[in-house]
Amino acid sequence: MLDLPGLWLEPEDRQLLRQPEVGGMILFARNTESPAQVRELVASIRAVRPDMLIAIDQEGGRVQRLRRGVQRLPALADIAFKGGDQAAAAARSAAWLMATEMLACGIDISFAPVLDLDHGRSQVIGSRSLGGNPEQVSFLASAYIDGLAQAGMAATGKHFPGHGWAEADSHFALPVDERSEAQIRELDLKPFALLASQLGGIMPAHVVYSQVDSLPAGFSRYWLQNVLREELGFAGVIFSDDLSMAGAHAVGGIPQRIDAAVASGCDMLLICNDRAAAEEGLLHAQRLGLQAPANIAAMLARRTVPIDYKASPEWGMHYSLLRGLGLV
């Protein structure tokens, strides 16, 4: 899964899209000016590759790539602050609104919800979390996943097995979580364990859990195969986090990161914000004979959402609920 430099496809982008090893595109803020522009960009991608999975990070709060012409969504922490059934209803409505707006733009998935616990240590997680209690996070995330499903979007939980304890930001450094495996299982792993059957995708963390494995979770067969696949029974898509992030550099250059991610069991590898790295990775993928994973098909069961979706009674119901709680 690669990215694009701007608002429109350039000739070199079209050539990149034609490569069969490219299975997805992720959109960033630089690619999103308005819903109409995003629809046009997505249509141009689909004209080259109708089977392309298109993703975005549209969590709400400070992580919302498309902001103009769509609903500004609350941070998950603001939703959780409402407490109990009100928070669950708000999580369901926020997810429905987000998914409906993204599907109306032609986007298949948003990488959401965040399942990391907020231990008051990680600034990169912080308000993106639904709280510090694993039962609360699981309860509210289940409601969020329900909202996505009602709108017609698959859920992707992140960042397995939990990024909330490690203080460093994996975009710029390699975070280390020094706790025991028992502590991680008792707290951070719980939302992933409880919700594994409801998730279409999971994204592992570029975090080293030093008492468990010397490799970051996204490169660890123990975490992805022994725990996630075998123990938790997760059958969906494992997306690597961005292999260009500093937290991924621990295993070497781009070819080594690809090899390690594939060996650990990642199904789709993200290389973003570095076109030279993406091109190097693509050449390596071609040498390996990598292809887009078959289990991505469920995420490509696209629901068509009309452009005038805001006129629907469902939209009014979900918007009114959030407005009544002071969240929009």
171 is catalytic: yes
Q: What does the alpha-carbon distance between residue 153 and residue 107 come to, in Å, rounded to a whole number?
A: 10
Cβ–Cβ under 8 Å, residues 286 and 61 = no
Question: What are the residues facing 237 on neighbouring strands?
Answer: 201
Query: How many DSSP H helices and E strands does the chain contain?
Result: 11, 10
The helix/strand/coil state of 252 is: coil
Q: Establish whether 284 is a catalytic residue.
A: no
Report the C-alpha gap between 108 and 104 in whole angstroms.
10
Q: How many CA atoms lie within 13 A of 134 on its CB side?
A: 16
Q: Which of 10, 7, 76 is nearest to 42 (CA)?
A: 7
**What is the 3-state composition of the chain as percent helix, strand, coil, each rounded to the nearest 5?**
45, 10, 40
Running DSSP on this structure, what letter comes out for residue 2? B
Rounded CA separation 39/27 (Å): 12
Distance CA 175, CA 294 (A): 32
Q: Which of the following is catalytic: 241, 242, 267, 284?
A: 241
DSSP 183-205: HHHHTTHHHHHHHGGG-SEEEE-
Residue 155 has phi, psi (to 5 degrees) of -100, 145
Q: Write down the catalytic residue from 171, 213, 259, 274.
A: 171
Write out the two tokens for 96: 């429905």
Considering only CA atoms, which of 297, 302, 208, 222 is closest in space to residue 264?
222
Joined tokens for residue 15: 């050539």
- CB neighbours of residue 68 within 10 Å: 11
Instruction: Show which residues are catalytic.
Output: 171, 241
